[in-house]
């Protein structure tokens, strides 16, 4: 995202094809949980959800209101944000027997941009390397790179493979 708020994709291929999300699902889980319960009330759980990528925490947050209701809210939010390819069946992104959480790369990037521009407190957690004794699962936050990683999320399951969404700043700071 450049200083004027315009998003630019560095790499894109089949960006409108809906593919399995794996733990990238947790971006929407965190958004729904923070809007429902208040970020301040569940901040420790959100850190565990996004930094450690803890599946049990995703399930716990959803169970509090009932998992089917929580997942329905995730899908409703995707529609409200104009993310037509995004569809959820569980709050963690783990491989289900039949259906998987899916979205296009374009819609995932749009969600990340929304978090960056409209939910800055939540987005800032995605850029943290550590929280207490927990270390982020996102190695890009640690590896030397010509880009400054502002935040992102990784995911991996057998059916989804390896996934990554990241928001970064160029070396010149211009987007």
pLDDT in tens, 17-40: 999 999 999 999 999 999 999 999
What per-residue confidence (pLDDT) applies to 131?
Answer: 67
Give long-range contacts, CB 8 A cutoff, 24+ apart: 37-46.
Answer: 37/61, 37/64, 39/121, 39/122, 46/122, 46/125
What per-residue confidence (pLDDT) applies to 43?
Answer: 95
What per-residue confidence (pLDDT) applies to 133?
Answer: 59
The alpha carbon torsion through 140, 113, 82, 62 (nearest 10 deg) reads: 60
What per-residue confidence (pLDDT) applies to 139?
Answer: 54
Residue ranges in the chain modelled with pLDDT below 50: 175
């Amino acid at each position: 995202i450049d200083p004027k708020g315009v998003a630019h994709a560095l790499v894109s291929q089949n960006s409108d094809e809906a593919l399995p999300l794996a733990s990238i699902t947790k971006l929407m889980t965190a958004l729904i949980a923070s809007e429902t319960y208040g970020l301040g009330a569940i901040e420790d759980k959100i850190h565990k959800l996004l930094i450690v990528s803890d599946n049990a925490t995703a399930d716990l947050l959803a169970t509090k209101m009932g998992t089917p209701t929580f997942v329905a809210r995730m899908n409703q939010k995707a529609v409200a944000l104009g993310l037509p390819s995004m569809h959820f069946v569980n709050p963690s992104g783990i491989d289900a027997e039949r259906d998987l959480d899916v979205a296009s790369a374009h819609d995932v990037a749009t969600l990340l941009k929304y978090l960056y521009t409209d939910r800055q407190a939540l987005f800032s957690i995605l850029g943290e390397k550590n929280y207490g004794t927990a270390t982020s699962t996102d190695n890009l936050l640690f590896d030397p790179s010509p880009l400054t990683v502002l935040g992102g999320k990784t995911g991996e399951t057998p059916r989804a493979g390896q996934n990554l969404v990241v928001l970064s700043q160029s070396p010149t700071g211009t987007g």
